[in-house]
Structure 1
Amino acid sequence: MPKIIDGIEDKIFSSAFNLFSQHGYKNVDMKIIAKSSGIAVGTLYNYYPNKQTLFLNVFNKSWIETFEKLDNIIYSKGQKEFKINSFVEILYKEIFERKGMGKHLIKSSNLKNEEIDIKKELLTRVKKIISENEKDENLKCKYEERLLETILVTFIAMMNEHSKEYEKNIDYLSSFLLNIYNSIEKY
């Protein structure tokens, strides 16, 4: 009978999240995750059959809390400018803290599993924050999907190109989204 370790799944998640965030997917292997978790590699394989399954689990699970934070902003009362700024601040911080995993957002169509499509969920929330009415799913925009993807890519580009200018990036991205909100019918 295998030894039961208290909180093992939380330890694995925490270790894997930190390692993938710091080093990216390619530079982390199951041995490193097991060592960081304080367990044997075989024990790790009892929970996850391979690195990709573990990564998908960590990637998806880590975004669930982020979506809750973003939803709280979307459905809160207040001026649109304040809501957009708060939304950008949270989203930027969450992507920034994921470092090595943040880039996978762009490629997340390759990371789909049965549970959740992160990119689709994120784009839905971006759409809601820049809509006239948060319950309205239509942006009245000819190139809606491309616009939403451009916004996501812009977030990541700001982090890569201006990584030490956290506040300026948030200010720029907030202005960017506010301008889109103010001119959405022109697109």
Structure 2
Amino acid sequence: MSVSYQQRILAAANKIFVENGYRQADMRSIAKEAGIAVGTIYNYYPNKAVLYQAILNQQWEEFDRRIHQVVNDLSSSAREKLQRITEHLFSFVAHHMSMWREIINDPQRDEFQLLDEGHKAQQKAHNQLKEHLRRVFNEHTSEPSWIVERHILAYMAAVTHIGMLFPAETEQNINYIMSLIDNMPRLSK
């Protein structure tokens, strides 16, 4: 069975985007990786942004589905949910470091800048994750929303930087993040 051009494009684009990130990836590199002409990509995807959106949406939907299941698990405490989310996040960061970095950074762009489909996909992923975290952080706390928002941002920053600096130390990273969570007001209850 032969692999279709679209499958080859998606596989090559996934590899290039994971290795280089959205901003640094280019259609020539993707075409070279897929073993096809650059023009062939444009038969399936009108531009890099739409191709990236397809890749990120594919990667993120699976991740988001897992996080959604964790958040909606009524038998787990907020701390247990955060530990499972942290495990999933470190796995995602380890396998999609460039994408993760852009998901975290891109929503900080100037709100007046026009966003292409790739940036919109990053923004959607960022907002979905924050909403999941907001639900868990709010589960057992009566802290004001501005404090919860800071907990979420601190958590995301810690996972990002620790995951990037110590990618091979997953268990230690999870334990460290959980110790930070345990020291957040009312979350250890």
Structure-1 separation of matches of 2:160 and 2:104: 9
Identity of matched residues, %: 24
Q: Could you list the runs of 4 or more consecutive aligned residues of structure 1 that deviate by over 6 angstroms after TM superposition?
A: none
Hey, what does 1:28 align to over in structure 2?
25
Structure-1 separation of matches of 2:101 and 2:37: 30
User: Which of 135, 143, 147 is matched with 2:147 structurally?
Assistant: 143
Hey, what does 1:67 align to over in structure 2?
64
Hey, what does 2:114 align to over in structure 1?
none
Q: Is the CA contact 2:134–2:149 (under 8 Å) kept in the aligned structure 1?
A: no
Equivalent pairs counted in the alignment come to 177
Hey, what does 1:164 align to over in structure 2?
168
Of the structure 1 ranges 118-127 and 38-47, higher mean CA displacement relative to structure 2 is found in 38-47
Q: Secondary structure at the match of 1:106?
A: helix
Structure-2 separation of matches of 1:42 and 1:159: 37
Q: Is the CA contact 2:56–2:122 (under 8 Å) kept in the aligned structure 1?
A: no
Q: Is the CA contact 2:97–2:164 (under 8 Å) kept in the aligned structure 1?
A: no
Q: Is the CA contact 2:94–2:163 (under 8 Å) kept in the aligned structure 1?
A: yes
The 3 A distance-change label for structure 1 pair 87 and 115 is closer
Q: Is the CA contact 2:102–2:122 (under 8 Å) kept in the aligned structure 1?
A: no
Of the structure 1 ranges 157-166 and 91-100, higher mean CA displacement relative to structure 2 is found in 157-166
User: TM-score, normalized by length of structure 2?
Assistant: 0.77
Structure-2 separation of matches of 1:108 and 1:60: 15
- Structure 1 residue ranges without an equivalent (≥5): none
Q: Is the CA contact 1:11–1:37 (under 8 Å) kept in the aligned structure 2?
A: yes
TM-superposed CA distance for 1:169, in Å, is 0.7
The 3 A distance-change label for structure 1 pair 26 and 117 is closer
| Bigger share in helix | 2
User: TM-score, normalized by length of structure 1?
Assistant: 0.78
